[in-house]
């Protein structure tokens, strides 16, 4: 195989209680990427459609993640990359992660799959480091593994795939306001009380158990964040209103996607997810902030071949 076209899913990191450790992949929104082998060594990004992003290998996350793989692979040739960017950078649904994960997954396929998913996550994390200064894995892990993932430990890296109940749907609204990831990190406190810690790890355990047991009520009870959301939500106009409206029409839970400004809700069944979308739209319609909205099944495959 000389060329491959892949779908690179958008992802929701944190998932309320799982700050920096939980993530999930979406099905209805993602980039497309074409990667082909070349005789010339190195990586050339030849085309980016949809967004104005750097073509230089060292400034584009797909180039940086791809170079990390290429250097380890021993492959004497190189790759060309074309990106059709559908996920807006800075939206909080893993725009950079989709490119990092897509690049390394596609290259691994073209080389006959020498690397494991865990190794691919490590390469993709180098792209994340370029985008946000932190080599976090909570978006690239679900983008590569699919479904829900838990990053149990960073040193050593330990990624665990969590099963996805089949009727689970996500609704994601992206209000068109700008929040810098660095700003939304800066405002966080670095200490938490024991009381808050107990609540939080109770909820992380509950969410994981709920996903394993297909227990939607338990999933709903566990989708709570007592540490990050109360602080970060201040940066998102209308957050409290969107959340109460979504919960009012039956969402299991609602929180900030990644570092925002996107807000996500999880629901049992597509009909509820649709009602949640309508309730969210109404809030931003009234406030007068333009938005994008997505309703999606959870993507259990991660990056996938489409041609
Ligand atoms: P999101 O908040 O949606 O996850 P990020 O903040 O992770 O988005 O990433 C956006 C940053 O990464 C921007 O500064 C952007 O210029 C940079 N970047 C570099 N290459 C890419 C790429 N291929 N796709 C998206 N963002 C990229």
**Where do the structural domains in the chain lie, given as residue ranges?**
3-162+300-305, 168-296
- The confidence score (pLDDT) of residue 178 equals 86
**Active-site residue (options: 149, 164, 171, 181):** 181
Q: Please state the atom number of ligand 1 nearest to the C-alpha of residue 100.
A: 23
State the pLDDT at residue 95.
97
Q: Which pLDDT value is given to residue 183?
A: 80
Measured in Å, residue 172 CA sits from the centre of ligand 1 at: 18
164 lines ligand 1 (CB under 6 A): no
- Residue 298 Cβ inside 6 Å of ligand 1? The answer reads no
What is the distance between the alpha carbons of residues 270 and 58, in angstroms, rounded to a whole number?
41
Ligand 1 centroid to residue 185 C-alpha, Å: 16
**Residue 80 near residue 35 (C-beta atoms within 8 A):** yes
**Is the distance from the beta carbon of residue 179 to the nearest atom of ligand 1 less than 6 Å?**
no
Q: What pLDDT does 303 receive? A: 98
Find out whether 188 and 225 touch, Cβ atoms under 8 Å.
Answer: no
CB 92 less than 6 A from any atom of ligand 1: yes
Q: What is the pLDDT of residue 93?
A: 97
300 as an active site residue: the answer is no
Place of tokens 């793989």: 69
> How does pLDDT run along the chain (307 residues), one tens digit per residue?
899 999 999 999 999 999 999 999 999 999 999 999 999 999 999 999 999 999 999 999 999 999 999 999 999 999 999 999 999 999 999 999 999 999 999 999 999 999 999 999 999 999 999 998 889 999 999 999 999 999 999 999 999 999 999 999 999 999 999 887 778 888 998 999 999 999 999 999 999 999 999 999 999 999 999 999 999 999 999 999 999 999 999 999 999 999 999 999 999 999 999 999 999 999 999 999 999 999 999 999 999 999 9
Mutate to test the pocket of ligand 1, among 89, 126, 137 (most ligand atoms within 8 A of CB): 89
Check if 233 has its Cβ closer than 6 Å to any atom of ligand 1. no
Ligand 1 centre to CA of 89 (Å) is: 5
Distance (Å) from CA 158 to ligand 1 centroid: 24
Q: Convert the chain into a string of H (helix), E (strand) and C (coil).
A: CCEEEEEEEEEEECCCCCCCCEEEEEEEEEEEEEEEEECCCEEEEEEEECCCCCCCHHHCHHHHHHHHHHHHHCCCCEEEEEEECCCCCCCCCCHHHHHHHHHHHHHHHHCCCCCCHHHHHHHHHHHHHHHHCCCCCCCHHHHHHCCEEEEEEECCEEEEEECCCCCEEEEEEEECCCCCHHHHHHCCCCCCCHHHHHHHHHHHHHHHHHHHHCCHHHHHHHCCCCCCHHHHHHHCCCHHHHHHHHHHCCCCEEEECCCCCCEEEEEECHHHHHHHHHHHHHHHHHHCCCEEEEEEEECCCCCEECC
Phi, psi of 103 (to 5 degrees): -60, -50
Find all residues with CB under 8 Å of 253, minimum gap 6, and list them: 16, 219, 220, 222, 223, 224, 247, 265, 266
**C-beta neighbour count of 183 within 10 angstroms:** 12
Instruction: List residues bridging with 89 in a β-sheet.
Output: none
The hierarchical CATH code for the domain 168-296 is 3.30.70.890
The predicted pLDDT at position 184 comes to 82
Residue position matching structure tokens 């250097």: 71
Residue with CA at minimum distance from ligand 1 atom 7: 96
Ligand 1 atom nearest the C-alpha of 31 is 24
pLDDT at 181: 74
**CA 10 / ligand 1 centre spacing (Å):** 12
Q: Which atom of ligand 1 is nearest to the CA of 85?
A: 24
- Choosing from 11, 128, 164, 171, the catalytic residue is 128
Distances (CA, A) of 274 to 46, 128, 262, 279: 38, 32, 17, 9
Contacts of 286 (CB under 8 A, 6+ apart): none
Which atom from ligand 1 is nearest to the alpha carbon of 88?
3
Report the alpha-carbon distance of residue 44 to residue 283 in Å, rounded.
43
Per-residue pLDDT, 22? 98
* Alpha carbon distance 118, 29 (integer Å): 24
CA of 106 to the centre of ligand 1 (A): 19
Q: Which CATH class is domain 3-162+300-305?
A: alpha beta
Q: Is 46 a catalytic residue?
A: no
Kindly report the backbone phi and psi dihedral angles of residue 256, in degrees, each rounded to the nearest multiple of 5, phi listed first.
Answer: -85, 135
The position carrying tokens 């406030």 is 287
Residues facing 207 on adjacent strands: none
d(CA 217, CA 120): 34
């Amino acid at each position: 195989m000389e060329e491959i076209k892949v779908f690179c899913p958008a992802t929701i990191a944190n998932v309320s209680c799982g700050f920096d450790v939980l993530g999930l992949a979406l099905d209805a929104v993602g980039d497309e990427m074409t990667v082909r082998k070349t005789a010339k060594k190195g990586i050339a990004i030849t085309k980016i459609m949809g967004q104005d992003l750097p073509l230089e290998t060292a400034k584009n996350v797909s180039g940086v993640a791809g170079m990390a793989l290429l250097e380890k692979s021993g492959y004497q040739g190189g790759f060309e990359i074309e990106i059709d960017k559908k996920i807006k950078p800075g939206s909080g649904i893993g725009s950079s992660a989709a490119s990092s994960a897509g690049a390394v997954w596609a290259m691994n396929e073209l080389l006959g799959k020498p690397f494991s998913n865990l190794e691919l996550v490590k390469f993709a994390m180098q792209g994340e480091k370029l985008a946000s200064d932190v080599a976090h894995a909570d978006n690239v892990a679900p983008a590569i593994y699919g479904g829900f993932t838990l990053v149990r430990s960073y040193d050593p890296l330990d990624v665990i795939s969590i099963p996805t109940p089949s009727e689970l749907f996500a609704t994601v609204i992206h209000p068109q306001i700008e929040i810098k990831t660095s700003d939304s990190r800066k405002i966080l406190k670095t200490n938490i009380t024991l009381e808050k810690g107990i609540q939080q790890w109770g909820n992380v355990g509950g969410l994981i158990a709920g996903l394993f047991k297909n227990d939607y009520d338990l999933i709903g009870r566990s989708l709570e964040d007592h540490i990050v959301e109360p602080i970060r939500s201040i940066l998102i106009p209308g957050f409290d209103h969107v959340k109460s409206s979504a919960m009012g029409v039956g969402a299991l839970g609602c929180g900030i996607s990644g570092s925002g400004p996107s807000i996500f809700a999880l629901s049992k069944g597509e009909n509820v997810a649709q009602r949640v979308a309508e309730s969210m739209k109404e809030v931003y319609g009234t406030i007068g902030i333009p938005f994008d909205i997505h309703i999606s099944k959870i993507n259990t495959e991660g990056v996938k071949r489409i041609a």
